A and B are shown apart, each in its own frame.
Chain A
Amino acid sequence: DAGVIQSPRHEVTEMGQEVTLRCKPISGHDYLFWYRQTMMRGLELLIYFNNNVPIDDSGMPEDRFSAKMPNASFSTLKIQPSEPRDSAVYFCASSLGGGSGNQPQHFGDGTRLSIL
């Protein structure tokens, strides 16, 4: 079975540009999560969706970040305008059920974002 698919794998862009990260969750999963990982702060939850509906976006750092899930098989995370401090690895994860214990989150391989 295909896992969580993220694109692009790497993105290098200049400060001020719009960045769009994409995610295809595992078919049949009803939860989708966006995380950001840095060496200093580790893995931070940005936002999660349940059945395509955003439930908790309290982790989104500022209004420059937005996320959508137009259907069950696609989600985007957008940063506009981008800043150097947004440089990190962004992960998408999906799960069937709550995402813990015997219903774990399945992660994609991430998008490594560098803002110059």
Chain B
Amino acid sequence: QKEVEQDPGPLSVPEGAIVSLNCTYSNSAFQYFMWYRQYSRKGPELLMYTYSSGNKEDGRFTAQVDKSSKYISLFIRDSQPSDSATYLCAMSDFGGYQKVTFGIGTKLQVIP
């Protein structure tokens, strides 16, 4: 079993839809939870991160962490064609050097 599980998709939605992207994990030591966005033929870039449990909102994006279920989510409201990308969840435990474990990524396409 992988430490981080993520459905690779692809996920196709109409413009304006609410998108839900999810990951599960097995390592209870994970404390930092991140979402990276990767456009085609580009490197991943950090979209947002949360520490421990709870929600975090940034514009149209909301990240949720449920440590009791070992489940994290990223919601995108009013999705736009420019949101079409691969979204990778990533996690790390707390320490001097925090090795980051990435999910395989979910490919999202927002249809105009």
Binding site for B on A (CB under 8 A): 4, 31, 39, 41-43, 45, 50, 55-56, 91, 93, 98-102, 104-110, 112
| Nearest-Cβ distance from residue A93 to partner chain B, whole angstroms | 7
Q: How far is the CA of A43 from the CA of B90 in the complex (A)?
A: 10
Asked if B97 and A107 make an inter-chain contact with CB atoms under 8 angstroms apart, the answer reads no
Q: How far is the CA of A99 from the CA of B91 in the complex (A)?
A: 11
Smallest CB gap from A91: residue in B: B43
29 contacts between A and B (CB under 8 A): A42-B102, A42-B105, A43-B88, A43-B102, A43-B104, A43-B105, A91-B43, A93-B43, A98-B95, A98-B98, A99-B97, A99-B100, A100-B32, A100-B34, A100-B49, A100-B90, A100-B98, A104-B34, A104-B49, A105-B46, A107-B44, A107-B45, A108-B43, A109-B41, A109-B43, A110-B41, A110-B42, A110-B43, A112-B41
Q: How far is the CA of A56 from the CA of B95 in the complex (A)?
A: 15
Asked if A101 and B98 make an inter-chain contact with CB atoms under 8 angstroms apart, the answer reads yes
Please report which residues of chain B, range 63-98, place their CB below 8 angstroms from some CB of chain A when the two chains form the complex. Answer: 88, 90, 92, 95-98
Please indicate the chain B residues that have their CB under 8 angstroms from the CB of A110 in the complex. 41-43
Number of A-B contacts (CB under 8 A): 62
Type the 1/0 row for B30-63, where 1 means its CB is closer than 8 Å to any CB of A.
0010100000011111100101000000000000
Smallest CB gap from A102: residue in B: B49
Please indicate the chain A residues that have their CB under 8 angstroms from the CB of B8 in the complex. 39
Asked if A99 and B98 make an inter-chain contact with CB atoms under 8 angstroms apart, the answer reads yes
Smallest CB gap from A41: residue in B: B104
Q: How far is the CA of A55 from the CA of B96 in the complex (A)?
A: 13
Q: Which of the listed residues A102, A104, A112 has the most CB atoms from chain B within 10 Å of its own CB?
A: A104
Smallest CB gap from A112: residue in B: B41
